[in-house]
Structure 1
Amino acid sequence: MTSLVIGIAGGTGSGKTTLTNALLERFAGRASAMYHDNYYRAHDDLDAEQRTTLNYDSPDEFDNDLMVEHLTRLVAGAPVDSPTYDFVHNNRAARTVRIEPKPIIIVEGILIFAEPRLCPLFDIRLFVDTDADVRLLRRIHRDVLERGRTLESVERRYLATVKPMHELYVEPSKRNAHIIIPEGGRNMVALDLLIHEIEHQLA
Structure 2
Amino acid sequence: MISMVLGLSGPSGSGKSTLANEIHRRLTDSVILQQDWYFINSADCPPDANFCDPKWLDIDLFVTNLRHLKKGSPAAVPAVDFASFARVGTLTLQPAPLIIVEGMTIFRIAEIADCFDLRYYLDTSFDVLAERKRARDKSERLKPAAVIEAQLQWLADEHRQDAELRARPDVVLRSGETPVGELADEILEAVTQWIRHDPQPPC
| Aligned counterpart in structure 1 of residue 195 of structure 2, from 181, 195, 202 | 202
Runs of 4+ in 1 over 6 A off after TM superposition: none
Higher mean C-alpha deviation, range 19-28 or range 177-186: 177-186
Q: Deviation digits for residues 139-185 of structure 1, max 9, x if unmatched? A: 000111111112222112212x23223323x4433244531111267
Is the contact made by 1:18 and 1:184 (CA closer than 8 Å) also made in structure 2?
Answer: no
SS class of match (2:41): coil
Structure 1 residue aligned with 2:36: 37
| Aligned counterpart in structure 1 of residue 66 of structure 2, from 43, 67, 71 | 71
Q: Report how many aligned residue pairs link the two structures.
A: 195
Unaligned runs of 5+ in 1: none
Question: Normalised by the size of structure 2, how large is the TM-score?
Answer: 0.87
C-alpha deviation, 1:89, in angstroms: 2.1
Is the contact made by 1:40 and 1:85 (CA closer than 8 Å) also made in structure 2?
Answer: no
C-alpha deviation, 1:194, in angstroms: 1.8
| Aligned counterpart in structure 2 of residue 148 of structure 1, from 131, 142, 150 | 142
Please give the alpha-carbon distance, in whole angstroms, between the structure 2 residues aligned to 1:185 and 1:22.
Answer: 13
Please give the alpha-carbon distance, in whole angstroms, between the structure 2 residues aligned to 1:144 and 1:56.
Answer: 17
- 1:163-178 aligned at under 5 Å gives the runs 163-168=156-161, 170-176=162-168, 177-178=170-171
Is the contact made by 2:11 and 2:158 (CA closer than 8 Å) also made in structure 1?
Answer: no
- Relative to structure 1, is the Cα distance of residues 184 and 98 closer, same or farther in structure 2, using a 3 angstrom cutoff? farther
Paired letter, 2:186: L
Residue identity (%): 28
Question: Normalised by the size of structure 1, how large is the TM-score?
Answer: 0.87
Please give the alpha-carbon distance, in whole angstroms, between the structure 1 residues aligned to 2:185 and 2:192.
Answer: 11
Please give the alpha-carbon distance, in whole angstroms, between the structure 2 residues aligned to 1:25 and 1:128.
Answer: 19
Please give the alpha-carbon distance, in whole angstroms, between the structure 2 residues aligned to 1:202 and 1:140.
Answer: 38
Is the contact made by 1:18 and 1:185 (CA closer than 8 Å) also made in structure 2?
Answer: no
- 1:102-181 aligned at under 5 Å gives the runs 102-159=96-153, 161-168=154-161, 170-176=162-168, 177-181=170-174
Unaligned runs of 5+ in 2: 197-203
Please give the alpha-carbon distance, in whole angstroms, between the structure 1 residues aligned to 2:17 and 2:44.
Answer: 31
Please give the alpha-carbon distance, in whole angstroms, between the structure 1 residues aligned to 2:49 and 2:62.
Answer: 20
Structure 2 residue aligned with 1:62: 57
Is the contact made by 1:81 and 1:99 (CA closer than 8 Å) also made in structure 2?
Answer: yes
Is the contact made by 1:20 and 1:185 (CA closer than 8 Å) also made in structure 2?
Answer: no
